[in-house]
Structure 1
Amino acid sequence: MNFEQARFNMIEQQIRTWEVLDQATLDTLAAVKREDFVPAPYRAMAFSDLEIPLNVDGAAPGEVMFAPKLEARLLQELTVKPTDTILEIGAGSGYMAALLASRGQTVQTWERQPALAAFARANLSRGGMSSVTVREGDGFAASHDANAFDVILLSGAVERLPEDLFKSLKLGGRFIAIVGQAPVMSAVLVTRTGEDQFTQVKLFETLTTLLVGGPTVERFRF
């Protein structure tokens, strides 16, 4: 398989057509080898317009990688700067962390499944991504310092925004999560504009898998 041709086709046919036109984002997608973060049985599908199962030995079923166009759109919307410190919850294969690390200064990514944490760590190490730290555990339950991050990304969906994480943003920091319940979910950008001030913007509609342990909407009970 010609991976470089497949990567070019992915960028031109899937990603550009989904309103991803920022050249720095496109250059990052061209440089980071997505095929090296995909489980071996799915390597030939690394550039397909679909979510790829993370069928790693020891991992619970149902985990997936984002579709390439969603990864690209999130990366573009986060406007990562070279000096940015970044928090990701949901390491998965480590690919999204690799994209973020290619644009920012440091990335701390959390993964609650030990098998996936090990998979992400191995992929990132092989790719020379020394600025990424993979932490094993529940990123929602972990204690995150206030004013610690320029960028926070949830790599998976949540039913409602985890507002307790907002205070971990620095002033001007950006937070993106995919929020809602199937079949209606939207990517939401939160920006910290003051000590207790945050703006929210709905970016686009999409659909993906819920993050285990993420905040949920309280169900009505009779």
Structure 2
Amino acid sequence: MAVTSNPPEKMMFQLNLRRRGISDQTVLRTMEEVPREAFVDAADREDAYRDSALGIACGQTISQPFVVAYMTEQLNVQRSNRVLEIGTGSGYQAAVLSRLCVDVVSIERYRTLADSARERLKTLGYNNVEVIVGDGFDVPDSAGTFDRIIVTAAMERIPEKLLERLEPGGVLIAPVGPHHGVQTLVRVVRTETGFEHRELVDVRFVPALPGIAREL
């Protein structure tokens, strides 16, 4: 897969992340190294580094760079972590996470998106990402537990079954709120006594829906 990018645009991309408060150098370096242009539709390649969400197949989106960087920074991923992503999309967030941890399991309800993301990640060498077609509201028991969980679609509430997948000390990030409106990014930490919730910033994500999508 041949990918190209405009150096001035990529420089502004980095400057914008820093200006908006992203300070984790590892996250910034990873955002620079992952070729965002490889994860957007061909018609949108010139806009790949613009700080806005872009449409992809199945009516879904690739999140704006700042949101990807912010959620990644707030997740505080460690090299030894095992990470679960709900909502693979084009695979961009999974690619970023893969450079920060030991492995990523990403669940996508649209088979079309899962298949194309799996192939894209393989082609680009992100070999520690496993893409699964499945229901993010009902993660299979065989998937095990995770140190970090990131949800990249809006949930009206975080399911208890998903919280139970967090290891002690684990962190979950999810946009919570109405499907058609503004959501709040929530950071949940599993402690010895339960779960600590903290609201971060307002965001807008496409809805997270239960089940596996029927595609025509």
TM-score calculated relative to the size of structure 1 = 0.88
The letter for the 2-side match of 1:185 is: Q
Of residues 71-80 and 176-185 in structure 1, the stretch that sits farther from structure 2 once superposed is: 176-185
Find 1:80's aligned residue among 68, 77, 81.
Answer: 77
Aligned pairs (5 A) from 1:171-186: 171-181=168-178, 182-186=180-184
**Equivalent pair of 1:147/1:170 in contact (CA under 8 Å):** no
Q: What is aligned with 2:12?
A: 9
Question: What CA distance in whole angstroms lies between the structure 2 residues aligned with 1:146 and 1:127?
Answer: 24
Q: What is aligned with 2:55?
A: 53
1:165-196 per-residue CA deviation (whole Å, 9 max, x = no partner) reads 111111100000000124331100000012x5
Q: What is aligned with 2:187?
A: 189
Question: What CA distance in whole angstroms lies between the structure 2 residues aligned with 1:2 and 1:67?
Answer: 17
Find 2:40's aligned residue among 38, 41, 44.
Answer: 38
Question: What CA distance in whole angstroms lies between the structure 1 residues aligned with 2:7 and 2:137?
Answer: 37
Find 1:169's aligned residue among 150, 166, 169.
Answer: 166
Number of corresponding residues: 207
Find 2:104's aligned residue among 89, 103, 107.
Answer: 107
**Segments of 4+ in structure 1 off by > 6 A?**
none
**Equivalent pair of 2:82/2:104 in contact (CA under 8 Å):** yes
Give unmatched runs, 5+ long, in structure 2.
212-216
Find 2:154's aligned residue among 146, 152, 157.
Answer: 157
TM-score calculated relative to the size of structure 2 = 0.90
**Equivalent pair of 1:54/1:93 in contact (CA under 8 Å):** yes
Secondary structure (helix, strand or coil) at the match of 1:96 reads helix
Question: What CA distance in whole angstroms lies between the structure 2 residues aligned with 1:19 and 1:35?
Answer: 23
Secondary structure (helix, strand or coil) at the match of 1:50 reads coil
Say what the alpha-carbon RMSD is for the aligned residues: 1.7
**Equivalent pair of 2:138/2:162 in contact (CA under 8 Å):** no
Of residues 174-183 and 69-78 in structure 1, the stretch that sits farther from structure 2 once superposed is: 174-183
Give unmatched runs, 5+ long, in structure 1.
215-222
Of residues 28-37 and 135-144 in structure 1, the stretch that sits farther from structure 2 once superposed is: 135-144
Deviation, 1:137, is: 1.7
Question: What CA distance in whole angstroms lies between the structure 2 residues aligned with 1:158 and 1:130?
Answer: 29
CA change 1:2–1:40 in 2 (3 A) is closer
Determine what percentage of the aligned residue pairs are the same residue. Answer: 34
The letter for the 2-side match of 1:29 is: M
Question: What CA distance in whole angstroms lies between the structure 1 residues aligned with 2:94 and 2:136?
Answer: 14
Is 1:130 matched up with 2:132?
A: no
Secondary structure (helix, strand or coil) at the match of 1:203 reads strand
**Equivalent pair of 1:169/1:192 in contact (CA under 8 Å):** yes
Is 1:212 matched up with 2:209?
A: yes
